[in-house]
Amino acid sequence: MKKLIGMSILLVLGLTGCQNSAEMSASDPDQLLQNEVIHESLANTEYDSIEGFLADSDEGVFVLDSQAADRSTAPSNTAGFSAADTGVSVAISYIAVTYECEVNEDTFKLELCTYRSNNGKQQLEEIMESNPNLFTEEEIGGKRIYYAPGSEYDWFDCYAMVIGEKLFIMDIEKGYDEYVGVILENLVLQR
């Protein structure tokens, strides 16, 4: 349960921005939640690329198959799609792959987070319950997705969904939400 709360907090703080910790007392629930996020981030192991991570792990993680975009599976208006991973962050509860993407002439940043536990539906429900009115439900590419805009201080918008049994979070740079479908079309589970 503690990990689940930490994941929920990580998502919320990532979406809404962290408050100034100097303004919070040690007994403040927000401070306690921020401490959970700090604990999670201190546990990170960083890799320069997905290949480095996969060489050390047999754990499944959702990644972009940029080669698929070069084939006929990509819509003609996004045939110029490419994605280069720029690093992997492995935490207690999730694995996050960061990308620099290009579609046609638009370049944007993207982070894909695959959560390690197999109770994604429950995790997503708890996140939604603890953040009423933050998420809106959408259907993109036949998948039910929950969208939460980043605050004015965030650089990313968030999309949460369950794929298989895992909670999957996509943070896409603001202003590039039109490419969420392209990203989902090129998403593969890598082991």
Residue 2: per-residue pLDDT:
36
Of 135, 108, 112, give the one whose Cα is nearest residue 124: 135
- Residue 123: its H or E element: helix 120-130
- Interval 140-179: pLDDT, tens: 988 999 999 998 889 999 999 999 999 999 999 999 999 9
pLDDT band at 95 (very low <50, low <70, confident <90, very high): very high
Inform me whether the pLDDT recorded for 106 exceeds 70.
Answer: yes
Amino acid 79 reads A
- Interval 115-145: pLDDT, tens: 999 999 999 999 999 999 999 999 998 899 9
Residue 80: per-residue pLDDT:
82
Of 112, 117, 132, give the one whose Cα is nearest residue 188: 112
Instruction: List the chain domain ranges.
Output: 45-190
Question: Is the distance from CB of 131 to CB of 140 less than 8 angstroms?
Answer: no
The strand ranges marked E within the chain are 45-47, 61-64, 82-90, 94-103, 106-115, 136-140, 143-148, 156-163, 166-173, 187-190
CATH of domain 45-190: 3.40.1000
- Interval 8-55: pLDDT, tens: 444 443 443 333 333 344 456 666 666 666 666 556 899 999 999 999
